[in-house]
Structure 1
Amino acid sequence: MHLIKISIGVIIIALALNFFLLPHDIASAGVGAIGHLLEIHLSVNSIYTLWVINLFMLLLTYLLLDKQIFSKIFLGSLLFPIYLKLIPTSPVLFSHIASLIIGSALFSLGVFYLYKSNSSNGGITIPPIILERYFKIPVYRGLLLTNLVIIFLNFYILRPLDGLFATVSILIMSVAMKLYTAIDSKLMEREGKSIGESNHKSS
């Protein structure tokens, strides 16, 4: 069951990247964006970059988080480069702005889905989990902080306009993550009230 949930989250992220963001050179989303940027700049296959970063983040996970979370993140880290390779990089929309908005929101949905399962697709989605665990920084803020490195790489490797698009995309991801978290909290609260009322009636 965990494998299915993790696969769904990873596939959502891979679809956001390969169908909406990367075809338009919007390199804003996590380790996949870093791989894309380094492939452009250094002609290094992005899959190799993904593996190296994910292995390093797995080491941090093993050292700083519990073993159950490590096992789930381990699966996501292994599956992500595979799905990213299997799903073709092909634009679904020709509109740059629409692709930016939809791709950013979809990427955040995949990350949120994995976080709900105490998992991750690896890469820079792991530091927010560590920041929340040790410093009580909300995940959406931690994701924004860790994405600053991507903003820097965009301005350094691509055009200033591409850097601006990446910045807007990351802001959309942060807002979307905050929105998903708020909706989830409301649903959990409503579910808790329903269970409480049901138990009260049965007693």
Structure 2
Amino acid sequence: MSINFFFSPHNIAAGGATGLAILAQELFGWPLFLTTLGVNIIMLILAAIFLARETVMRILFGSFMLPVMLAIIPQTKVVNDTLFAVIVGSAIFAAGVALLYNIDASSGGTTVPPLIFKKYFNLKAPVGLLIIDICVSFGNIFTAGLEAFVYAVFSIVITSLIMNYIESGFNRKKTLFISSNVSTTELKDALGHDLSYGLTVIPSRGGFQNSEQELLMIVVDTQDYPRFVRKVLAADPEVFITVSDTASVHGGFFNRQQI
């Protein structure tokens, strides 16, 4: 859907085997699914030669299903605005790839060379994939012009950001580390029912004053974070709080039914 509805109708090749196929379609009129299939077969052969059998099996199904779906789904220009097409297409593409990664699968194609580079040259796979995608995107200059190249690079950035967000999960929280001059009991009383989140008390020592104190670690929902901080500040206006984003939380109070 991403390729046939958004990228191909606007001649934007944003990396990967499908990007090569879009360039080939623009230059030589070759069918999109046929070029993708050819690239994927070559990549499967390389994977069989240089990589483990498990890797080949992991990408085998996706390598053939992607060309099949490209052949079944018609190429239709859903939106006329190129920028909007790139944004929506990148979001759909990122969601699809992230779902594949979630089940330890892949659509093959240009994801294979980075794995080979990692194995033999110790080059990180994401870096290798980025280099290949940029090289493929560079081909836009010769088929659709410089603007198409800029759109392609923009698409790679959007896809990367959305994939990172999806892969780290939607269960995002805020983790607070609280160092206060008031007692832990006073803070508990001030927070009241908000302590349904639970807290961890960590013994600590001041670096300069060498004084013993308790450091509280509390994980809260993002939407509850402002109210939570206000209550802590009300209990101790001079409290020291550090806050970090937490990608996902498993177990504990968050995944239990509240009684």
What range is the shorter-chain TM-score in?
Answer: 0.7 to 0.9
Q: Comparing both chains, which one has the higher relative contact order based on Cα–Cα distances under 8 Å and sequence gaps of 6 or more?
A: 1
2:124 is the alignment partner of 1:137: yes
Bigger helix share: 1
Residue 20 of structure 1 contacts residue 91 of structure 1 at CA under 8 Å; is this kept in 2? yes
Q: Which moved more, 1:95-104 or 1:176-185?
A: 176-185
Q: Does 1:190 align with 2:249?
A: yes
The 2-side partners of 1:82 and 1:73 are apart by 15
Contact 1:27–1:33 (CA under 8 A) maintained in structure 2 = yes
Matches within 5 A, 1:123-202: 123-130=109-116, 135=122, 137=124, 139=126, 141-183=127-169, 189-191=248-250, 193-194=251-252
Check the 8 A contact 2:32/2:70 in 1, yes or no.
no
Q: What percentage of aligned pairs have identical amino acids?
A: 28
What is the aligned counterpart of 2:105 among 96, 119, 122?
Answer: 119
CA contact (8 A) 1:18 1:90 kept: yes
Higher strand share: 2
Scaled by the length of structure 2, what TM-score is found? 0.61
Which range moves more in the overlay, 179-188 or 105-114?
179-188
* 2:31 is the counterpart of 1:45: yes
Shift of the 138–130 alpha-carbon distance from structure 1 to 2, 3 Å rule, reads same
CA distance in 2, matches of 1:130, 1:188: 30
Amino acid at match of 1:167: V
Tell me how far 1:53 sits from its aligned partner: 1.0
TM-score where L is the length of structure 1 = 0.75
Question: Which whole-Å deviations, capped at 9, do the CAs of 1:113-152 have from their partners, x for residues lacking one?
Answer: 212222211211333445566737264x443222012122
In 2, distance between residues paired with 1:46 and 1:23? Answer: 11
In structure 2, the residue corresponding to 1:183 is in which secondary structure?
coil
In the TM superposition, what is the alpha-carbon distance from 1:91 to its structure 2 partner?
2.3
Q: CA deviation at 1:158?
A: 1.9
Q: What RMSD, in angstroms, separates the aligned Cα atoms of the two structures? A: 2.8
Q: Which runs of 5+ in 1 are unaligned?
A: 1-14, 199-203
Rounded to whole Å, the distance in 2 between the matches of 1:92 and 1:48 is 22
- Change in CA separation of 1:93 and 1:38 when aligned onto 2, cut-off 3 Å: same
Contact 1:50 1:81 survives alignment (8 Å): yes
One-letter code of the match for 2:164?
Answer: K
Q: In the TM superposition, what is the alpha-carbon distance from 1:43 to its structure 2 partner?
A: 2.7
Q: The residue matched to 2:104 in structure 1 has which SS?
A: coil
How far off its partner does 1:34 sit?
0.9
More deviation, 102-111/113-122 = 113-122
Give the partner amino acid of 2:107: N
Give the partner amino acid of 1:56: I
In structure 2, C-alpha distance between the alignment counterparts of 1:124 and 1:66, rounded to whole Å: 17
Give yes or no for contact 2:15–2:134 (8 Å, CA) kept in 1: no
- Who is 1:95 aligned against? 81
Asked if 1:105 is matched to 2:115, the reply is no
The secondary structure found in structure 2 opposite 1:190 is coil
**Number of aligned residues:** 181
User: Kindly tell me: are residues 34 and 163 of structure 1, through their superposed partners in 2, closer, same or farther at Cα, counting changes over 3 Å?
Assistant: same
CA distance in 1, matches of 2:89, 2:162: 11
Matched, 1:62 2:62: no
Shift of residue 42, structure 1, vs aligned partner: 2.1
Q: Which moved more, 1:15-24 or 1:178-187?
A: 178-187
Gaps of 5+ in 2: 173-245
Bigger radius of gyration, 1 or 2?
A: 2
Q: Which amino acid aligns with 1:117?
A: I
